[in-house]
Amino acid sequence: MSPKSLYNFAFFDEGSKRELRRAILKAVAIPGYQVPFASREMPIARGWGTGGLQLTLSLVGKDDVLKVIDQGADESVNAVSIKRLVKGTTGIRTTEDARDATIIQSRHRIPEFSLARGQILVLQVPMPEPLRFVEPSEYATKRLHAEKEYSGAYLALFEEIMKYGRVSTGADHPVLVNDRYVMAPSPIPRFDNPKMNRSKALILLGAGREKKIYAVPPFTKVASLDFEDHPFEVEAIAGRKCRKCGAEGVFMDEIVDEASGASDYQCNDTSFCGASRVI
């Protein structure tokens, strides 16, 4: 038995793909609602993007062009590994250019280039439940969502203001989708939250280990949770300039020079960084 003969196009059997696509359709129909699905075990580890990978594999066709990003980088080990797996089981073309891709699977970043109509952004999600740290029980959080009972989520932000004088969330700052569901945007930096609002591209979010799929359909309102007197703030980027391409106003990696100990910055989105250097 040769390894090739063991696996179908895009890994899954067609029945599994259809099942996943049904869950996706439901997620698109109810923006921000977490649709439970029968998450399959994948050839990559749980917690390494199996939710995103299942979405990608269920959607991918022979003409698709795939881009995979891990924390902003196309060449990061896990992005390479996922790309290799999809390519290996489908033979489709891959790209680093966000404008060229039909499906972009990403871990924790939304590309700096604004996405276009017809593109699909697949985000990998470790913890899909935005209320999990307020309420550990799944049974209870499902009810809180059903009743649109989000005082706990706001209270958590309020407590941070009381303790630290400001909201101190890092990545994964919760958002309200379509004025209905509070949603975990996945651990994208706060800088990327506004990119979700009225996005032209379809955004799908997949949590493999937690077995949930949810979606932000194109042109849907997405608002980061905040208070009138403590408006939502993105990470500080003012005055930061990419040391490689000179770009400003994008999310930067902080690079510490080993010799001098001084901080320097460069574009976190590596394919954007390259592109802006060429232009």
Partner 1 sequence: MGYVAVKGGAEAIEASIERLKYERLRKGLTLGVDAVEAGMRALVDQVMSEASLYDEAMAALSIKQAEGSPEEAVFLMRAFRSTLPRSYYSLAIDSRAMRVERRISASFKDIPGGQILGASCDYTHRLIDSGLLEETDEEAALWVAAYLANAAAESSPPASAAPMPGAIAGAIDYIRAIGLLKARPIDDAEPRDVTKRSIEFPASRSERLQILARGQTGAVTALGYAALRGYGATLHPTVGELRVGRVAVYVPNPYSSEEGGDAGDAYYVGEIRITAVETLVPVSVRRGMGKTEIEFEIGFGASFGQNETKAIAMSLLDQCLESGDKRSAVQDEEFVLLHVDSVEATGFISHLKLPHYVTFQSKLDSVRKARGEK
Nearer to partner 1, 25 or 116 (CB): 25
User: Given candidates 185, 189, 206, 217, which one binds partner 1 under the rule CB under 8 A?
Assistant: 189
Q: Are 31 and 217 in contact (CB under 8 A)?
A: yes
170 is catalytic: no
**Binding to partner 1 by residue 94, rule CB under 8 A?**
no
Nearer to partner 1, 47 or 61 (CB): 47
**Binding to partner 1 by residue 53, rule CB under 8 A?**
no
The position carrying tokens 């977490």 is 34
Interface positions, 214-243, toward partner 1 (CB under 8 A)? 233, 235-236
Per-position DSSP letters for 200-254, written without gaps between them? SSEEEEEETTTTEEEEE-TT--EEE--BTTB---PPP-TT-B-TTT--BSS-EEE
Taking the C-alpha atoms of residue 271 and residue 104, their distance in angstroms, rounded to an integer, is 13
Active-site option among 242, 249, 261, 274: 242
Find residue 106's DSSP bridge partners: 69, 123
Taking the C-alpha atoms of residue 102 and residue 41, their distance in angstroms, rounded to an integer, is 25
Nearer to partner 1, 42 or 201 (CB): 42
Of 96-104, 111-119, 183-191, 216-224, which part binds partner 1 (CB under 8 A)?
183-191
273 is catalytic: yes
Find residue 266's DSSP bridge partners: 253
Interface positions, 103-132, toward partner 1 (CB under 8 A)? 107-109, 126
Listed residue (112, 234, 220) closest to 169, CA to CA: 234
Nearer to partner 1, 64 or 192 (CB): 192
Q: Are strands 93-94 and 65-70 parallel, antiparallel or unpaired?
A: parallel
Q: List the x/- string, 242-261, binding to partner 1 by CB under 8 A.
A: ---------x-xxxxxx---
**Residue 192 C-beta: closest distance to partner 1, Å:** 9
The residues annotated with a catalytic role in the active site are: 32, 242, 245, 267, 273
